[in-house]
Amino acid sequence: MPLYKTITVNLNTSIAIWKVEETETFLGKGILLTDHCQNRYNGMKSELHRRAFLSIRHLLVLYGYEDKDLVYDEFGKPHLKDGNFISITHSHHFTAIIISRTEQVGIDIEKNREKILRIAHKFTPFEEYRTLANTEAIIRKLTIVWGAKESLYKIYGQQGISFLHHIHVADFSFAQNQTTAKIIYQGDISLYEVHFMEFEGFTLVYAIKG
């Protein structure tokens, strides 16, 4: 099952998720990479990473794009040459893109893992999560917060901002499936809407600049 799910966020914004189950040869068929991307692809040591990279090119095709329509800036942020906004994510065998004609967008998929408990203090005031019912709930919530911060970071597109000090995610309940967030950095405040969903032990978060 290659195309896992598509989500229509609004009239101008869509998400497509791929579950990478195909071989590298299969995924490579019909995909033409720019020299830049071919070089990156050739340097990828992990076969799953190469398959994920190719699957994203298949997701682009869904929206009428090819690899050559994508250009990366000096920070590694992808841009569409026609001016539409895009964000890309891959985690193990899931990959996703979000494309918007009108809004700046960011997306992140993370596998839910216990490891997040050990690094939580580096990206969020951890105390807030102690009231949750059990460890699994804490892991889920922290993974959503992490994904939100990665998504915002991808929109902001600049190095220097700190997940802990500059990106703030408003508290939320699981049932809401959404929250808000802001970046306060060098006197500048920007606001974002954040949405999340969970599937097969993974968490997908996307953010839209307000």
Ligand X SMILES: CC(C)(COP(=O)(O)OP(=O)(O)OC[C@H]1O[C@@H](n2cnc3c(N)ncnc32)[C@H](O)[C@@H]1OP(=O)(O)O)[C@@H](O)C(=O)NCCC(=O)NCCS
Which residues contact ligand X (rule: CB under 6 A)? Answer: 53, 75-78, 88-90, 108, 122-123, 150, 153-154, 157, 163
Q: Which residue is nearest to ligand X (CB)?
A: 76
CB of 34 to ligand X, least distance (A): 12
**C-alpha span between 195 and 26 (Å, rounded):** 33
Cα atoms in the Cβ-side hemisphere of radius 13 Å centred on 127: 1
Distance (Å) of CA 6 to CA 1, 64, 147, 174, 195: 13, 15, 19, 21, 15
CB of 146 to ligand X, least distance (A): 9
191, two tokens: 């606001």
CB nearer to ligand X: pick between 138 and 142: 142
Q: What are phi and psi of 111, to 5 degrees?
A: -80, 135
CB of 150 to ligand X, least distance (A): 5
CB of 86 to ligand X, least distance (A): 8
CB nearer to ligand X: pick between 154 and 175: 154
DSSP string, 88-113: EEEETTEEEEEEESSS-EEEEEEE--
CB nearer to ligand X: pick between 33 and 138: 33
CB nearer to ligand X: pick between 106 and 179: 106
